[in-house]
């Protein structure tokens, strides 16, 4: 077994959604990461303990940041238990911490990830019991420490999850409607569109306001996870509270409010109530404006700008979907000349009913739904 516990530079892993790997890689390079390499649903990079704090705080498109602890071969189920019990867990976190084991398994050795996580858990708590006659508690809802194991064929990598709760849980969204868009996905859509806070951004089906809030975070150079009060790395033995405070203070000092307009509307007034609650909690009530309006038949609120749509879609294609998309396309052609529009949808057939030529098309996933994120351009009328 090879241990890789270090507070100095080491290879870290940032996990993300399919389709956002290059966006996350660019974001990490901008933060100062080295040896950045896009992977499938993840990005590897080099950084030290301080960069773990920094990437958790700043990254808008990472779901979690993983710190490698060990790697070893697993040819029998007992190999997992034996090797996990050899890791000096007591040097990494205290016995008073609640823990959770997360397992990703693609191996013939274990039939499912749940059983692998149980065996790994038994090994970790067994080591504490043997040494101290006590053991850490297990908490799957709000664990202090999250241990992540990736068992691919016969090779197992073990990580400490520095984030704990997924980084999409920013801390500003209290009110949501049905099927709200994930915050990390929203941040990724904005960056894939090329919007950088220099023009008006309009979400005409804004729901609970996630795309709008993520746009304001980007435009005003605010750390995406500044609203969070707890990260798993704060429960490690080598947590440097002073260093974390310095990094957080430096991040806040880099905030730079922009003058671009960020606006939204929705035909459901109850969703606007939720949007305003979230926008206010994120402290953007003076920055983001929303109003009650059905987009169909509307006209552009500014001469130029960008629209980002997350319209209703599901697994079933219906004539209602086609009609809605056709009406959206007609409204864009008649009322939004000179603007750029971006759509994410799993209704690949319905997208054709927009009746507009796409300039970009990106394959993505929203949860388990395969989607396309398409860019459209409406030319100015003569």
Give me the mean pLDDT over the 247-254 stretch.
94
Predicted TM-score (pTM) of this structure: 0.93
Q: Which residue has the tokens 């749940």?
A: 114
pLDDT (0 to 100) of residue 58: 97
pLDDT (0 to 100) of residue 8: 74
The domain made up of 183-222+257-377 is a member of CATH 3.30.450.70: no
pLDDT (0 to 100) of residue 6: 62
Give me the mean pLDDT over the 148-174 stretch.
95
List the beta strands (DSSP E) in 181-301: 201-203, 262-266, 288-292
Q: Which residue has the tokens 């149980």?
A: 118
pLDDT, mean over the chain: 92
Gap between the Cα atoms of 139 and 227, Å rounded? 23
Task: Please say whether the dihedral angle defined by the alpha carbons of residues 227, 233, 234 and 240, taken in this order, is positive or negative.
Answer: negative
Whether the predicted pLDDT of 381 surpasses 80: no
Whether the predicted pLDDT of 206 surpasses 70: yes
Give me the mean pLDDT over the 24-35 stretch.
97
Give me the mean pLDDT over the 344-353 stretch.
88
pLDDT (0 to 100) of residue 167: 96
Reported as a pLDDT band with limits 50, 70 and 90, residue 232 is very high
Give CA separation, 109 vs 2, 32, 336, in Å: 20, 39, 57
Rounded to a whole number of angstroms, the CA Rg of the chain reads: 23
b/e sequence 200-215, b meaning 16+ C-beta within 10 Å: bbbbbbbbbbbbbbbb
Q: pLDDT per residue over 305-345, tens digit each?
A: 999 999 876 545 456 778 899 999 999 999 999 999 999 99
Give CA separation, 160 vs 115, 268, 308, in Å: 19, 42, 36
Reported as a pLDDT band with limits 50, 70 and 90, residue 377 is confident
Pick the more confident residue, 2 or 162: 162
Q: pLDDT per residue over 45-95, tens digit each?
A: 999 999 999 999 999 999 999 999 999 999 999 999 999 999 999 999 999
pLDDT (0 to 100) of residue 179: 75
Question: Which DSSP symbol is given to 377?
Answer: E
Tokens in use for 358? Answer: 């796409």
Q: Is residue 59 within 8 Å of 28, Cβ to Cβ?
A: yes
Per DSSP bridges, beta strands 34-38 and 145-152 are unpaired
* 116 CB neighbour count, 10 Å cutoff: 23
Give me the mean pLDDT over the 182-188 stretch.
97
Give CA separation, 313 vs 181, 320, 348, 372, in Å: 12, 11, 10, 12
Q: pLDDT per residue over 106-131, tens digit each?
A: 998 898 899 999 999 999 999 999 99
Q: Is residue 185 within 8 Å of 218, Cβ to Cβ?
A: no
Gap between the Cα atoms of 329 and 46, Å rounded? 45
Tokens in use for 27? Answer: 């974001």
Task: Please say whether the dihedral angle defined by the alpha carbons of residues 173, 174, 177 and 180, taken in this order, is positive or negative.
Answer: positive
Distance of CA 69 to the CA centre of its chain: 23
Per DSSP bridges, beta strands 2-3 and 42-47 are unpaired
Whether the predicted pLDDT of 255 surpasses 60: yes
Tokens in use for 122? Answer: 């038994």
Residues 6+ apart with CB under 8 A from 280: none
In the chain, ranges of CATH 3.30.2130.30 domains: 2-161
State the CATH architecture for 2-161. 2-Layer Sandwich (3.30)
Q: Is residue 143 within 8 Å of 98, Cβ to Cβ?
A: yes
Give me the mean pLDDT over the 31-53 stretch.
96
**Which of 22-26, 173-177, 327-331 has the lowest average pLDDT?**
173-177
Task: Tally helices (H) and strands (E) across the chain.
Answer: 10, 15
List the beta strands (DSSP E) in the chain: 2-3, 10-15, 34-38, 42-47, 64-73, 99-106, 145-152, 155-161, 201-203, 262-266, 288-292, 306-309, 340-345, 358-366, 369-377
Task: Please say whether the dihedral angle defined by the alpha carbons of residues 145, 29, 218 and 340, taken in this order, is positive or negative.
Answer: negative
């Amino acid at each position: 077994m090879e241990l890789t516990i270090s507070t100095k530079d080491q290879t870290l892993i940032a996990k993300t959604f399919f389709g956002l790997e290059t966006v996350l890689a660019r974001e990490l390079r901008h933060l100062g990461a080295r040896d950045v390499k896009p992977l499938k649903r993840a990005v590897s990079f080099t950084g030290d303990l301080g960069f773990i704090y920094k990437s958790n705080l700043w990254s808008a498109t990472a779901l979690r940041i993983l710190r490698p602890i060990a790697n070893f071969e697993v040819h029998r189920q007992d190999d997992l238990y034996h090797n996990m019990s050899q890791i000096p867990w007591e040097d990494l976190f205290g016995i008073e911490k609640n823990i959770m084991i997360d397992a990703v398994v693609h191996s013939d050795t274990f039939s499912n990830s749940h059983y692998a996580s149980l065996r790994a858990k038994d090994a970790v708590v067994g080591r504490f019991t043997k040494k101290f006659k006590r053991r850490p508690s297990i908490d799957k809802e709000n664990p202090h420490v999250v241990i992540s194991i990736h068992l691919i064929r016969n090779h197992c990598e073990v990580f400490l999850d520095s984030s704990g709760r997924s980084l999409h849980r920013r801390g500003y969204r209290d009110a949501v409607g049905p099927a709200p868009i994930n915050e990390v996905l929203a941040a990724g859509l904005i960056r894939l569109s090329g919007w950088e806070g220099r023009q008006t951004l309009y979400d005409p089906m804004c729901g609970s306001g996630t795309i709008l809030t993520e746009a304001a975070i980007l435009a005003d150079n605010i750390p995406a996870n500044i609203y969070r009060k707890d990260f798993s790395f704060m429960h490690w033995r080598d947590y440097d509270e002073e260093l974390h405070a310095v990094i957080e203070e430096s991040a806040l000092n880099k905030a730079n409010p922009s003058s671009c307009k960020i606006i939204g509307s929705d035909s459901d007034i109850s969703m606007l109530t939720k949007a305003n609650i979230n926008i206010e909690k994120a402290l953007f009530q003076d920055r983001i404006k929303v109003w009650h309006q059905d987009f169909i038949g509307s006209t552009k609120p500014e001469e130029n700008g960008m629209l980002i749509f997350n319209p209703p879609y599901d697994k079933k294609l219906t004539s209602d979907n086609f009609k809605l998309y056709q009406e959206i396309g007609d409204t864009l052609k008649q009322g939004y000349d000179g603007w750029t529009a971006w759509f994410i949808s799993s209704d690949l057939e319905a997208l054709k009913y927009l009746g507009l030529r796409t300039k970009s098309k990106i394959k993505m996933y929203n949860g388990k739904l395969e989607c396309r994120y398409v860019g459209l351009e409406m030319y100015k009328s003569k």
